[in-house]
């Protein structure tokens, strides 16, 4: 790389200290055209440095933006990334060759792809070509959102609120440890258009609960047992707002080439358009009934806090709020460490400004379990409003 290039140096060990720092900062590097040097990558993990999933995501973005990339090897704790021009007329392929999360590949790829329209060759105002990426790895794995979450929760919210279009087509499922899943991500790039600001401050009333159980190369009665676990947990909770609401859970039976697995996504829809979710994927030694109970308990936890988004959607909205035009606002439950991390690095990489306000609510005393011991009390309990004055990124072609 050019020795005169000025890089923004970012410490990947700060706050949550995981792969999210890498994904968001590289995406923002492309969007702001700011070269980055990321050090101490995933330093707080048991096995620090780049894993196949992170390396694959980096190489995907490198290919899309013809970027210069150094340090792209398994175990690397430091990278240099310098974006350039958008590659044109190409379908990109990204294969983790493991059960690395496809959902997290989408997390790094989607924001840059939204602004990846190549220069117009015609004088006619033709719409830009849809950008496509074929992503291979795990669709339903632990420690990452299931692909169903992106389809049923993330996608409808961000499309409606921010005003852009994309599609997620699941070709095949992949579970730990073999992977083998495949998803096609199709994105319609924006031209001369900024994202709209997000405004989700009214939770509304829960009007239904839906779900999807997926069993892959597993006995059919596994699905029934998972649903039984859901029913037990919801019944034991005795939440008044769920009275007279019977979950509508579909069963999806898949034949996959590698391994086996099962999982469930539950989501509650509200009268104001909010979608609150809970999910669980099979782990060794865990019964199908337990899988159902865990998903229901996560859903209940996120319903009880009274916010408009769940703890998993919360941090994924931050990068879009930062690059949108105008003031975005969401009311949410406890602020996760992932969200605080996303805000910290979004403010460094852009001129977006965030503000978190604690709201008074006697009903909201739910704690975020993930990394809760590392969160300040003011963020760990209750309702909060996150506001952001976005930078309004717009690409002229």
Residue 46, marked binder: no
Q: Tell me which H or E stretch contains 77.
A: none
Give the Cα separation of 26 and 108 in Å (integer). 8
CA atoms within 13 A on the CB side of 198: 33
Backbone angles phi, psi at 39, to 5 degrees: -110, 165
Our answer to whether residue 82 is catalytic in this structure is: no
Residue 120, marked binder: no
Give the Cα separation of 357 and 85 in Å (integer). 39
Backbone angles phi, psi at 200, to 5 degrees: -130, 90
Residue 313, marked binder: yes
Positive/negative CA dihedral, 109, 103, 55, 130: negative
Give the Cα separation of 341 and 364 in Å (integer). 23
Query: Of 142, 126, 144, 120, nearest to 57 (Cα)?
Result: 144
Residue 60, marked binder: no
Give the Cα separation of 187 and 166 in Å (integer). 4
Residues in contact with 24: Cβ distance below 8 Å, sequence separation at least 6, in sequence order: 107, 108, 318, 319, 342, 345, 346, 349
The answer to whether the CB of 192 falls within 8 A of the CB of 396 is yes
Report the 10 Å Cβ neighbour count for 243.
Answer: 7
- State CA 382 to chain mean position distance: 23
Q: Which of 338, 344, 371, 384 is catalytic?
A: 338
Residue positions forming the annotated binding site for ATP: 107, 312-316
Active site residues: 338
Residue positions forming the annotated binding site: 107, 312-316
């Amino acid at each position: 790389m050019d020795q005169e290039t000025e890089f923004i140096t970012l410490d990947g060990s700060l706050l949550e200290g995981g792969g999210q720092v890498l994904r968001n900062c590289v995406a923002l590097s492309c969007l702001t055209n700011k070269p980055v040097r990321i050090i101490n990558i995933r330093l707080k993990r048991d096995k620090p440095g780049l894993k196949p999933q992170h390396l694959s995501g980096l190489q995907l973005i490198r290919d899309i933006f013809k970027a210069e990339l150094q340090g792209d090897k398994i175990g690397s704790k430091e990278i240099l990334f310098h974006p350039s021009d958008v590659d044109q007329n190409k379908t990109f392929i990204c294969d983790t060759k493991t059960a690395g999360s496809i959902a997290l590949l989408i997390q790094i790829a989607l924001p840059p792809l939204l602004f990846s329209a190549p220069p117009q060759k015609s004088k006619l105002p033709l719409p830009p070509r849809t950008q496509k990426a074929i992503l291979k790895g795990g669709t339903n794995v632990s420690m990452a959102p299931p692909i169903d979450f992106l389809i049923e929760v993330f996608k409808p919210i961000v499309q409606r609120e921010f005003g852009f279009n994309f599609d997620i087509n699941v070709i095949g499922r992949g579970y730990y440890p073999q992977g083998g899943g495949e998803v096609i991500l199709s994105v319609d790039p924006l031209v001369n258009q900024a994202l709209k600001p997000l405004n989700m401050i009214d939770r509304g009333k829960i009007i239904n609960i839906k779900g999807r159980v997926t069993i892959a190369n597993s006995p059919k009665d596994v699905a029934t047992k998972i649903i039984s676990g859901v029913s037990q947990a919801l019944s034991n909770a005795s939440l008044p707002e769920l009275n007279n609401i019977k979950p509508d859970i579909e069963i999806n039976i898949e034949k996959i080439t590698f391994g086996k697995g099962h999982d469930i996504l539950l989501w509650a829809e509200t009268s104001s358009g909010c979608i609150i979710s809970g999910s669980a994927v099979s782990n060794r030694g865990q019964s199908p009934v337990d899988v159902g109970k865990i998903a229901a308990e996560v859903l209940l936890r996120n319903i009880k806090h009274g916010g408009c988004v769940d703890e998993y959607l919360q941090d994924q909205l931050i990068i879009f709020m930062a690059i949108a035009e105008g003031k975005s606002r969401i009311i949410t439950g406890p602020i996760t460490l992932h969200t605080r991390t996303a805000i910290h690095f979004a403010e460094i990489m852009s001129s977006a400004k965030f503000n978190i306000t604690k709201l008074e609510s006697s009903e909201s005393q739910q704690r975020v379990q993930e990394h809760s011991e590392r969160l300040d009390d003011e963020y760990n309990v209750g309702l909060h409003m996150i506001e952001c004055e976005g930078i309004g990124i717009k690409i002229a072609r």
